[in-house]
Amino acid sequence: MNVIKVGAVVIAAIVLFVVLGHVVSFIMGLIGTLFFLALVAGGGYVAYKLVSSGRRREIRRGGRY
């Protein structure tokens, strides 16, 4: 009977490690994907700012042109 209990604990530990491994892998993949999307969005924002900065309007002061 003790051998069956030890075997059950060993099998439960193996299943737990496999499940936790998949969960951690999923979370790391999700974090990596979010990081990549943030880099792409940040790069797009910087490119937009660089392109649109060349089209600034002049601020006219007073009556001078």
Domain assignment present for 11 = no
pTM of the model: 0.60
Domain assignment present for residue 61? The answer is: no
**Is 31 inside a domain boundary?**
yes
For residue 33, tell me if it sits in a domain.
Answer: yes
Q: Higher pLDDT residue, 63 or 12? A: 12
Asked if residue 45 is part of any domain, the answer here is yes
Residue 39 falls within a domain, yes or no?
yes
Domain boundaries, position 34 = 21-50
What does the pLDDT look like over 19-57, one tens digit per residue? 999 999 999 999 999 999 999 999 999 888 888 876 666
Cα 40 vs. chain centroid, distance in angstroms? 11
> What is the end-to-end Cα distance of the chain in Å, rounded?
98
In the chain, which ranges are continuous DSSP H helix? 2-52
Instruction: Kindly state the tokens that stand for 32.
Output: 């990596």
Whether residue 43 lies inside any domain: the answer is yes
Calpha distance 12→7 (Å, rounded): 8
Residue 46 inside a domain? The answer is yes
Number of domains in the chain: 1
